[in-house]
């Protein structure tokens, strides 16, 4: 049984592990942190120098396990044992929109294909070579999966291969990179464990995964990262967001950070809200007369002391203050992130209408403290069969649903994109138990 610390080798990526300005994130990080907490030990999670170093580190004992979105393959089974699978993914060929879309292996012969060195994609291509003998590729040991996608989008290479779960997140940051076709069978993702006659670690990890699967904890973690479906992908919107991230946000980033500190709010959430409201345009005006970066109404601006709604500093700080005031109205017993999303919905449609939706949720046997369940009932605020009997009456209940959905997407992209900017890879990251970290 582990004592003292739980050492985990990983890689930097949106589905595995990354560390932003305030908190560690990633599916593998959350799972590893949960297991360390389960054992009552500290988590020591480090980014391997290169992806292919993960397996030797497990063999030598430098790491107890590898948790890096690892595909379960027969070749890897020769090196390590695998714990219970926690995702099923497809491996996808990625190309650049505007170029000819490949539809089969033969089409890849016409371009430059680069894949992550030491990855399961190499074994996949070696098998594909039996079918297409002229298939060639380059194993890239220097660039990450994300950097390879970026190279495709910039036209520096023609193709790469990416796990579907990772591309589901990265496509919003690289909207000109597209899926051409899937290659190979569906693949299981699992932690890699050392080959040993002592099965205690394997049994302990299996018990942990069984518990979080049965209690819904695993699905909750996955839902935090994969809340969008294919139907939600907005190519034009994602492309505009990335463009504005580079061209507009830098001028206002410090204002968002300052407002976040003063309002006890993650600045990236305020920035996501401002993008949804105005696309970071301080002079924006809606048809209903609300205006400015945070689209404040006159009564709201007057209440929080904003004199000039088109002033970026005033609007951003005012929006932060107003969100903080709304947050204080949401019962403290409600856990995160539900409490935040209820507050963001109230920022949009009004606290009273969110309360009415919570009343409807409870009357139907649902959980009024769950954002997902309240989200389902908000559209009923437009139904006369309901709003005629509610304290606050009619509201366009579908609007806060779309509002929060969009902000969740922007917030997630911002967390990843700003983490890339500020992440300093020193190959070590030690997680200490704290309420603040656990809240992430």
Domains of the chain: 5-87+189-226 (3.40.190.10), 91-185 (3.40.190.10), 235-421 (1.10.530.10)
Helical segments of 61-160, H only: 74-77, 120-128, 145-154
Burial annotation 7-29 (CB, 10 A radius, 16+ → b, else e): bbbbbbbbbbbbbbeebbbbbbb
Residue 372 confidence (pLDDT) above 90: yes
Q: What is the C-alpha to C-alpha distance for residues 334 and 367, in angstroms, rounded to an integer?
A: 11
Q: What pLDDT, on a 0 to 100 scale, did the predictor assign at position 228?
A: 52
* Token pair recorded at residue 408: 């969740």
Residue 2 confidence (pLDDT) above 80: no
Strand partners, 193: 81
Q: What is the C-alpha to C-alpha distance for residues 222 and 21, in angstroms, rounded to an integer?
A: 22
Question: Is-contact 259 320, C-beta < 8 A?
Answer: yes
The H or E element spanning position 46 is strand 42-47
Judged by phi (left if over 0) then psi (alpha if -120 to 50, else beta), residue 431 lies in: beta
Closest C-alpha among 177, 219, 178, 267 to residue 27: 219
Q: What pLDDT, on a 0 to 100 scale, did the predictor assign at position 23?
A: 67
Per-residue model confidence as pLDDT tens digits over 39-63: 999 999 999 988 889 999 999 999 9
Listed in sequence order, the residues at least 6 apart from 55 whose beta carbon sits closer than 8 Å to its beta carbon are: 66, 76, 79, 80, 192
Closest C-alpha among 41, 50, 38 to residue 11: 50
**Residue 181's pLDDT band (cuts 50, 70, 90):** very high
**Residue 78's pLDDT band (cuts 50, 70, 90):** very high
Is residue 215 packed enough to be buried (19+ CB in 10 Å), middle (13-18) or exposed (0-12)? exposed
Question: Is-contact 276 293, C-beta < 8 A?
Answer: no
* Token pair recorded at residue 135: 């298939």
Of 55-69, 246-260, 284-298, 321-335, the range with the lowest mean pLDDT is 284-298
Question: Is-contact 58 192, C-beta < 8 A?
Answer: yes
Residue 229 confidence (pLDDT) above 60: no
Listed in sequence order, the residues at least 6 apart from 287 whose beta carbon sits closer than 8 Å to its beta carbon are: none
Listed in sequence order, the residues at least 6 apart from 36 whose beta carbon sits closer than 8 Å to its beta carbon are: 5, 6, 42, 43, 431
**Residue 420's pLDDT band (cuts 50, 70, 90):** low
Of 187-191, 207-211, 360-364, 410-414, the range with the lowest mean pLDDT is 410-414
Q: What pLDDT, on a 0 to 100 scale, did the predictor assign at position 165?
A: 86
Per-residue model confidence as pLDDT tens digits over 133-172: 999 999 999 888 889 999 999 999 999 999 998 888 788 7
Q: What pLDDT, on a 0 to 100 scale, did the predictor assign at position 424?
A: 36
- Which residues are catalytic, by number? 277
The H or E element spanning position 143 is none
Residue 349 confidence (pLDDT) above 50: yes
């Amino acid at each position: 049984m582990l004592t003292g610390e739980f050492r985990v080798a990983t890689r930097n990526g949106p589905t595995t592990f990354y560390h932003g300005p305030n908190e560690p994130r990633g599916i593998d990080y959350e799972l590893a942190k949960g297991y360390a907490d389960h054992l009552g030990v500290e988590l020591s999670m480090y980014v391997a120098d290169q992806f292919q170093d993960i397996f030797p580190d497990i063999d030598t004992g430098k790491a107890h396990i590898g948790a890096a979105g690892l595909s379960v393959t027969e070749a890897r089974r020769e090196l390590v044992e695998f714990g219970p699978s926690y995702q099923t993914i497809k491996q996808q060929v990625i190309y650049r929109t505007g170029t000819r879309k490949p539809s089969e292996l033969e089409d890849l012969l016409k371009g430059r294909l680069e894949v992550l060195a030491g990855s399961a994609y190499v074994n996949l291509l070696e098998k594909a070579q039996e079918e297409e003998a002229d298939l060639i590729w380059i194993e890239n040991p220097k660039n990450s999966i994300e950097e390879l996608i970026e190279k495709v989008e910039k036209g520096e290479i023609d193709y790469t291969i990416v796990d579907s779960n990772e591309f589901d997140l990265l496509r919003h940051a690289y909207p000109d990179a597209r899926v051409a076709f899937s290659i190979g069978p569906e693949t299981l993702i699992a932690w890699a464990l050392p080959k040993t006659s002592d099965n205690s670690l394997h049994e302990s990890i299996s018990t942990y995964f069984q518990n979080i699967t049965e209690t819904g904890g695993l699905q909750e973690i996955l839902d935090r990262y994969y809340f969008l479906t294919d139907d939600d992908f907005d190519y034009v919107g994602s492309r505009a967001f990335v463009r504005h991230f580079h061209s507009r946000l830098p001028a206002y980033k410090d204002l968002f950070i300052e407002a976040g500190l003063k309002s006890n709010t993650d600045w990236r959430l305020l920035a996501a809200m401002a993008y949804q409201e105005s696309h970071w345009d301080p002079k924006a005006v809606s048809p209903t007369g609300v205006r400015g970066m945070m689209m404040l109404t006159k009564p709201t601006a007057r209440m929080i002391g904003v004199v000039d709604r088109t002033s970026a500093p005033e609007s951003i700080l005012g929006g932060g203050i107003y969100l903080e005031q709304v947050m204080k109205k949401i019962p403290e017993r409600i856990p995160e992130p539900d409490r935040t999303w209820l507050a963001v919905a109230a920022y949009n449609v009004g606290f009273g209408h969110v309360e009415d939706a919570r009343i409807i949720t409870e009357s139907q046997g649902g959980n009024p403290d769950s954002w997902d369940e309240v989200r389902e009932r908000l559209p009923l605020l437009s139904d006369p069969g309901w709003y005629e009997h509610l304290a606050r009456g009619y509201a366009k209940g579908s609007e806060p649903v779309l509002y929060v959905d969009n902000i969740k997407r922007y917030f997630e992209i911002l967390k990843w994109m700003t983490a890339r900017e500020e992440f300093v890879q020193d190959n070590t990251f030690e997680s200490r138990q704290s309420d603040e970290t656990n809240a992430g």
